[in-house]
Amino acid sequence: MDITAMIFSLVKIVAVIAYLYGLLWVLGVKLKKVEIAGKLVDPSLGVNIFGGVIAFGVIQLALTKFNGFSLLNDFDSGLLYQACTMTMVALGLNLIYGFNGQFSLGQWGFYGIGAYTAADITYRWVNGDSRGLVVVGVGVIIGGLVILLIGKFLSNLRRMPVLSSFTLYLIGSILAGVVAVYAGKLAAPLLDPFLGDSLNKGVLAQGLPMQVVFFLAVVFAGIFAAEVSFLFGLPVLSLGSDYFGIATLGFSIVVYTLMVNSDTILPFPEMKGGRGMIGIPKLTTWFWAFLFLVLVIVIMRNIIRSSTGRSILSVREDETAARSMGIDVARTKLMSFVIGSFFAGIGGGVYAHFIGFLSPGAFDFLVGFNPLIIIVFGGLGSMTGTITASFGWIFFLEGMLREILGKISPEAPSWRYVLYPLTLLLLMLVRPQGLLGSVEWGFLKSKIIPLRKSETREGVNNHE
């Protein structure tokens, strides 16, 4: 890579980071209310939506080719989609670890579950098995209800030894899975007369039905990952944070093993086990990547700024104090774990339909340390830091650095895995709290204004 190309790559990285901060700023713009027809109207929401549309259009124009040239080529667009999916996964992990204090190494496993679930739905659909979406949809709904009933019944067993309660939860999980699968298979033929020709393969050539299927597949993938995390989290969240991390690492290894043997252990021959799943329709576009990314950011931001978010932060700071204030610590931990896993499942669904091919190697537990490094690098408890670090990680380390090392030697790109930990160690020495610490920007900035010292003293004096 020559100097000009390197400078151009750096300019792209700076432009992408500036774009992210501009997006967060425009989504957080607040205007004064104006009087229209005698009523005060807040125009802020309209400005935020309009700004979001403009932000979407800017990248879309950069991706569009004019006379065979575009500002962002195919390689750059691939990095952009990877950055969006990595941001979703990392934000979910930051909710679990950065905001709630639960050290988890299982996020990559839920990412893989979401990827394979969404890919299997669309793969079956384009190959004429239109009942796949119905089976998964009904299975997710029925399975969720069964999971809630089992969880409610077994919630009284939290004081049992972890091994005993885990065995009971495992039996309940198998029961929920069996009920979900058979409910979906029984529902599909019953719904055929009502669905009519809308499920026939001939309709799939049209753009809208396939896009709707893709959206539903990604949403169902996120829900399924959340349901699995619910069943897994019920028994193991009673462990301490370190032991919980070990348990989630074991979960990732189990998921990876199931992926490698999916064509023999699981009833999904189309996944082809270790050979990798092919034939996945490439449906991820900038519209879908942008839409799901913004939805994840907005949902997480609203959670953190709500009373539920305060409970999540309280549990991280001091579980005993949170419990004394009436906060259900176990429920708060489980909720954070489930929501974070849901975000990972969404990211997996988007990733699967961008790459068009799934290999178990992409979900190896060693690769699963990447989102953990990202949230530590950006700052635990900072959404802005996570977003910045995710895009910087992909565009610089996986993009520019990989290309530079590739010019030196075909084996040189593997040295990235030496530079990653060295970079993290250097950051821990220079700035242990991460790049941004707990700082937020624009739309993500908290509205809560801290009291001045004089006000604090006055309140104490009045109390006395």
Question: Residue 291 sits in a domain of what CATH number?
Answer: 1.10.3470
- What is the spatial distance between Cα 101 and Cα 314, in angstroms, rounded to a whole number? 10
- Half-sphere exposure of 37 toward its Cβ, with a 13 Å CA cutoff? 1
Nearest to 444 by CA among 44, 14, 21: 21
Residue 380 falls inside a structural domain: yes
Residue 331 falls inside a structural domain: yes
- What is the spatial distance between Cα 404 and Cα 75, in angstroms, rounded to a whole number? 14
Nearest to 106 by CA among 126, 120, 92: 92
Beta strand 39-41 pairing with 34-36: antiparallel
State the residue range of the domain holding 300: 70-130+200-453
Residue 122 falls inside a structural domain: yes
- Encode 47-77: b = buried (16+ Cβ within 10 Å), e = exposed: ebeebbeebbeebeebbeeeeeeeebeeebb
Residue 105 falls inside a structural domain: yes
Written as six digits, the tokens of 69 are 């040239």
Cα 441 to Cα 27, 102, 190, 388, 436: the distances in Å are: 11, 25, 51, 11, 10
Counted domains in the chain: 1
pLDDT at 163: 46
Written as six digits, the tokens of 297 are 């950011």
Residue 164 falls inside a structural domain: no
Positive or negative, the CA dihedral 365, 369, 371, 375 is: positive
Per-residue pLDDT of the chain (464 residues; tens, 9 = 90+): 567 666 777 777 778 888 877 887 777 777 777 767 667 766 777 777 878 888 888 888 888 877 777 777 788 888 889 999 999 999 999 999 989 888 888 899 999 999 998 998 888 878 766 555 555 555 556 555 655 665 555 555 555 444 444 455 555 555 555 555 545 555 555 444 444 444 444 343 344 467 888 888 898 889 889 888 888 887 787 777 678 888 888 889 888 988 888 878 777 778 888 888 888 888 888 899 999 999 999 899 989 888 888 899 898 888 888 888 888 888 888 889 999 999 999 999 999 999 888 988 888 888 888 898 899 888 888 888 899 889 988 888 777 777 776 666 666 566 667 777 787 788 888 888 888 877 787 777 765 434 344 444 444 344 44
Residue 100 falls inside a structural domain: yes
Residue 362 falls inside a structural domain: yes
Tell me the Ramachandran region of residue 382: left when phi exceeds 0, alpha when psi lies from -120 to 50, beta otherwise: beta
Residue 40 falls inside a structural domain: no
- What is the spatial distance between Cα 170 and Cα 216, in angstroms, rounded to a whole number? 28
- Half-sphere exposure of 358 toward its Cβ, with a 13 Å CA cutoff? 32
- Encode 324-344: b = buried (16+ Cβ within 10 Å), e = exposed: eeebeebebbbbbbbbbbbbb
